Structure 1
Amino acid sequence: MLILINYMQMRMLKFIPKMRKKDMNIYDEIGVKKVINTLGNSTVLGGNTTSGEVKEAIESASNNYVDMKELTDTCRKLVADLIGSESALITPGAASALSLATAGAMTGTDRTLIEQIPDTTGMKNEVIIQTQLRVPYDKAIEVAGAKLIEVGSSEKTSVEHITNAINNNTIAIHYLPGGESVASSGKHTNALDIETIIKIAKDNNIYVIVDAAGQVYPTDNLTKYIKMGADAVAYGAKYFGALNGTGILVGKSEIIEAARLHSFIGFEFEKLRSIGRSMKMDKEDVIAVYVALKQWMTMNHEERIEIAEKKALLLKDKISSVSNISISEPDISGTTIGLKITLNENCPFNADQLSEKLASGNPSIWARGDDDTSVIFRMGTVNEEDLDIVADKLKEILN
């Protein structure tokens, strides 16, 4: 009888968590509003909702302890093989990848210099950046103690602007690829292209460090810049289906292996007093990056885009009767497509005010303002069942 009771208790214990896991909504429990995300893979909204395969891998990883050095070294080799890079490092985001790459460029594998960072006295510590390519994210270059040297103007950068700035303290040139969608201080199209930058760098024996955070589709973009000759390229792993606080650094072994020594692995296993201890990662993060990247490299992207296009058409149809707007397909970069709503002159408010009104509801709807009169709704991160809520809210606000 006792054996039977124990057996039934075990069955019940196994059953109850599954029911709670399926039915619970942790955000409702703690009183945090759900967000309908039409911004895209944005850090401020948690970056990404992972696929079933990635969720399963995370859960599997969470069930056991593991040697983090063995795990990270194994997974970074798998990542390098997947995208065809000489070397790779899994990092807690693209920003930390840039910080670690810059640190590695300045110190190499010299243990004394690694422990001296962020004091860069006596090191080559200047990183050149074009004025047109300045964004808040380039602060990551300075974290390790490097100095950003801005060249050119908001209108144009010439080869001479770059070459005249190169001196005995120059270690690298930082580059931000993209189109005019890059929120920089001038027009990106007037900046020197990356091919020119790489040639200048090679001629002067300095590194090229690229922030390609969201440049993950087409998948060729994951090898594009290293094939051109860039030394280190940072990507945000949330853009290919991993977690918000994850990224990868890919490129030449010389700089990647030095960056690894600055990471938390260098701190814990190489006994180095390095800056990367504050950039520690969970085992689940590391696994998620590998599994998500493998899925991203093998998935049918035409089908993914087709699903997003279907959602865009559904939303367009649902709001076709809304007054004071025109609807078009936006010119956006990244991994998804969307819908652009432009407010006409009779609309009593601007795009920012529309975004604020959408976000103030419950659930909150987050959309991206394109300019004073336009708002973009990205379809890759919105659930189809939420489109009715988005449409109804737009009708309520605009009619």
Structure 2
Amino acid sequence: MTISYEKFGLKDVINASGRMTILGVSKVSPSVLAAQRFGGEHFFEMADLLEKTGAYLADLLDVEDAQIVSSASAGIAQSVAAVIGQGDLYHTYHPYTSRVTRREILLPKGHNVDYGTAVEVMVEMGGGRVVEAGYANMCTSEHIEMMVTANTAAVLYIKSHHTVQKSMLTVKEAAAVAHRHGLPLIVDAAAEEDLFKYIREGADLVIYSGAKAIEGPSAGLVIGKKELISWVRLQGKGIGRGMKIGKDNILGFTQAVEDYLANGSESGAAMQKRLVPFVAAINEISGLQATIVQDGAGRDIYRASVKVSGPKTAKEVIQGLKLGNPAVYTREYQANNGIIEFDVRSVNENELQKIVNQLKEII
């Protein structure tokens, strides 16, 4: 059976937005597809599969244990439920029971963001209650510490370009505060590229997206302390049942991590090299001024930042690109300031030329 865009009446899409969930995040490699196929064509004892692949990844990542979940969002919800229930089977089956009062999850105010849904939605799904610390533009160790109570279950830190970057405590500082009070630190590092850094900086649980930097299939990964991971794994009998992941994606994701550790991802220098002719071509279009900029969260990611000065507005250009054939999706976060960003990590040279051509037509 042939699969095509036409079969389902779908649009061909150029993803110049980055590793975004709304576009399916990433493309997977032939080796990952082969692992997925092996998973799809065979049967396993699923609990054993999750435990053994977790142990395999833990060895690769030099951590005590790991658990593959369906997504980074599921990882937040199940990690929150884990630190609240602490392995209690009654809590697993009754995650919102009034028997448990220790449910407060401390979160820097500038980290309570919407990344497609709100961070607090996932915390509440796990049975937690967000307690914001500090202010939208500042959170220090002292701000976290003053919010600790007898009902605090954990500190949650969101490492993301979506969050406020200035005047925020570091992961190391958050870990120090959490551990002073005997609390675990959960770090959501969904799109981050370093799979070792945050555990080494003191986090007890770290959550990654399978399909973003790692370029695997839809999946998530929770790594960290053995006891805490066992509590996360237990959520498969509770809230995690509605977030279960299939055998094909478990094996595909495991292969993706192995490939990622062996090969890495495109370097910032390589991105800049590919961006030079793209930016030059855009600068020949009247009303557009392009430059190369680094990711706002300091990652080794470079993008084309295009200032739109007329006759169209940035929002009109963005809409025009989406209506094109193929549809081009960009980063829209600064559209209100007249700026469009193009992320080229998932864009080839032929697609870059198509974007230039469409911009000429729109302008």
TM-score, with structure 2 as normaliser:
0.92
Q: CA RMSD in A?
A: 1.9
1:27 matched residue in structure 2: 5
Query: Could you tell me how far apart the structure 2 residues matched to 1:355 and 1:335 are?
Result: 25
1:183 matched residue in structure 2: 162
Match of 1:242 among 205, 211, 216: 216
Is 1:132 matched with 2:110?
yes
Is 1:253 matched with 2:216?
no
Give the structure with higher Rg (CA): 1
Paired residues in the alignment total: 354
Could you report, residue by residue, the CA deviation over 1:260-315 in whole angstroms, capped at 9, with x for unpaired residues?
Answer: 0002xxx2xxxxxx11110111111101111000000000546x656544532342
Query: Could you tell me how far apart the structure 1 residues matched to 2:100 and 2:210 are?
Result: 34
Could you report, residue by residue, the CA deviation over 1:194-224 in whole angstroms, capped at 9, with x for unpaired residues?
Answer: 22211111111111111110112xxxx2111
2:31 matched residue in structure 1: 53
Query: Could you tell me how far apart the structure 2 residues matched to 1:143 and 1:373 are?
Result: 37
2:278 matched residue in structure 1: 315
Query: Could you tell me how far apart the structure 1 residues matched to 2:344 and 2:29 are?
Result: 16
SS in 1 for 2:28: coil
1:145 matched residue in structure 2: 127
1:241 Cα offset (Å): 1.3
CA contact (8 A) 1:125 1:170 kept: yes
Is 1:343 matched with 2:343?
no
CA contact (8 A) 2:282 2:288 kept: no
Match of 2:175 among 180, 187, 198: 198
SS in 1 for 2:293: coil
1:101 Cα offset (Å): 0.8
Match of 1:97 among 51, 59, 75: 75
SS in 2 for 1:222: coil
Percent identity over the alignment is: 25
Structure 1 unaligned spans of 5+: 1-19, 268-273
Q: Give the number of the structure whose residues are more often helix, by fraction.
A: 1
2:62 matched residue in structure 1: 84
Structure 2 unaligned spans of 5+: none
Q: Which runs of 4+ in 1 moved over 6 A?
A: none
CA contact (8 A) 1:351 1:375 kept: yes
Judged with a 3 Å threshold, the aligned counterparts in structure 2 of structure 1 residues 300 and 281 are, in CA distance, closer, same or farther, namely closer
Could you report, residue by residue, the CA deviation over 1:340-376 in whole angstroms, capped at 9, with x for unpaired residues?
Answer: 21123xx133322221111111211001124222111
Query: Could you tell me how far apart the structure 2 residues matched to 1:130 and 1:312 are?
Result: 35
Amino acid at match of 2:39: A
Q: Give the stretch that moved more between structures: 58-67 or 143-152.
A: 58-67
TM-score, with structure 1 as normaliser:
0.84
Query: Could you tell me how far apart the structure 2 residues matched to 1:338 and 1:119 are?
Result: 47
1:276 matched residue in structure 2: 240
2:318 matched residue in structure 1: 355
Query: Could you tell me how far apart the structure 2 residues matched to 1:322 and 1:78 are?
Result: 51
SS in 1 for 2:306: strand
SS in 2 for 1:98: helix
Match of 1:375 among 340, 343, 351: 340
1:155 matched residue in structure 2: 137
